[in-house]
């Protein structure tokens, strides 16, 4: 999902930055308020970021004969919701852009929108939907992570397709090509990420962490 440095035309870099900045800013604000209100939340925030660090460093082989990596945002989605996850994602993306030449500064906005915002937002909506249907926490966590991971790559394919429509066949044909490269590869990885998040949630629960208490107000579904 990393669009490499300089690989998006300038106007698209601007568009994705413009979308990403306010949401990341909102996430930072929410994280700060959460920290002021709840003293015990900082270590859990750090662990959530660490989870993204670990999973997004693991490049795994997949069914398409190529390699890709999970995003690790699923845990953040379940614990804190999408805006804080956006904030944590941009930290990891910045690290990778500066030290690993993975992604880039010009494409940081676009990569934040896919991995940090739209992917997690879709995962979060899926999570709330299944949770409201009284599906258990672990299964719901799996669903959240699966969609957050997979949607990230669908968005990347969409971003590249809109920036580089095929001369014959347009955006749709481009999307098909990029979808084949990114999204198909990602399906098994999204499943693995789902299992990992379910395991992490189970372990947190076993150690007495109330995993659903940090979510944005009004979406508490802990009675389910």
Partner 1 sequence: MKLEVTTILAVLLVISFFSLLALTTAIPKAEWGGADGQGMELIEQSLNYEPWANPIWEPPSGEVESLLFALQAAIGSLIIGYYFGILKGRKESEK
Give the range of 30-38, 45-53, 116-124, 126-134 binding partner 1 by CB under 8 A: 45-53
The only residue of 18, 67, 213, 219 in contact with partner 1, by rule CB under 8 A: 67
Count of residues interacting with partner 1 (CB under 8 A)? 68
Enumerate residues 112-151 that contact partner 1 by CB under 8 A.
138
21, 22, 35, 61: residue in contact with partner 1 (rule CB under 8 A): 61
Q: Which of 96, 114, 140, 152 binds partner 1 (CB under 8 A)?
A: 96
Structure tokens at 151: 């949607």
86 lies in the site for partner 1, by CB under 8 A: no
Give the span between the Cα atoms of 224 and 185, in whole angstroms. 34
Among 18, 21, 25, 100, which residue sits at the site for partner 1 (rule: CB under 8 A)?
100
Q: Please tell me whether residue 17 binds partner 1 under the rule CB under 8 A.
A: no
In angstroms, the CA 113 to CA 119 distance is 8
Residue among 50, 94, 125, 221 that touches partner 1 (CB under 8 A): 50
Site for partner 1 in 146-205 (CB under 8 A): 153, 156, 160, 164, 177-178, 181-182, 185-186, 188, 191-192, 195-196, 198-199, 202-204
Q: Which residue among 14, 18, 29, 59 contacts partner 1 (CB under 8 A)?
A: 59
**Is there a contact between 120 and 148 (Cβ–Cβ < 8 Å)?**
yes
**Among the listed residues 59, 98, 97, 92, the one whose alpha carbon sits nearest the alpha carbon of residue 73:** 92
57 interacts with partner 1 by CB under 8 A: yes
Q: To the nearest whole angstrom, how small is the minimum distance from the Cβ of residue 104 to partner 1?
A: 6
Binding site for partner 1 (CB under 8 A): 1-7, 9-10, 43-44, 46-47, 49-54, 56-68, 95-102, 104-106, 138, 153, 156, 160, 164, 177-178, 181-182, 185-186, 188, 191-192, 195-196, 198-199, 202-204, 206-209
């Amino acid at each position: 999902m990393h669009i490499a440095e300089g690989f998006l035309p300038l106007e698209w870099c601007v568009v994705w930055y413009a979308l990403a900045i306010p949401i990341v800013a909102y996430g930072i604000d929410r994280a700060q308020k959460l920290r002021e209100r709840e003293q015990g939340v900082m270590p859990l925030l750090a662990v959530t970021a660490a989870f993204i660090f670990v999973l997004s460093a693991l490049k795994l082989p997949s069914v398409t004969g190529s390699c890709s990596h999970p995003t690790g945002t699923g845990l953040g989605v379940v614990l804190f919701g999408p805006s804080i996850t956006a904030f944590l994602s941009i930290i990891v993306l910045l690290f990778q852009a500066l030290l690993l030449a993975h992604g880039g500064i010009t494409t940081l906005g676009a990569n934040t929108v896919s991995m940090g915002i739209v992917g997690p937002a879709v995962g979060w909506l899926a999570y709330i939907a299944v949770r409201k249907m009284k599906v258990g926490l672990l299964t719901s966590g799996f669903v959240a992570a699966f969609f957050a991971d997979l949607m990230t790559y669908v968005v990347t394919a969409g971003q590249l397709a809109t920036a580089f429509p095929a001369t014959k066949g347009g955006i749709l044909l481009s999307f098909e090509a990029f979808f084949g490269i990114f999204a198909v590869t990602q399906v098994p990885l999204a499943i693995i990420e789902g299992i990992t998040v379910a395991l992490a949630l189970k372990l947190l629960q076993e150690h007495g962490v109330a995993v659903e208490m940090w979510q944005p107000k009004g979406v508490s579904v802990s009675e389910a």
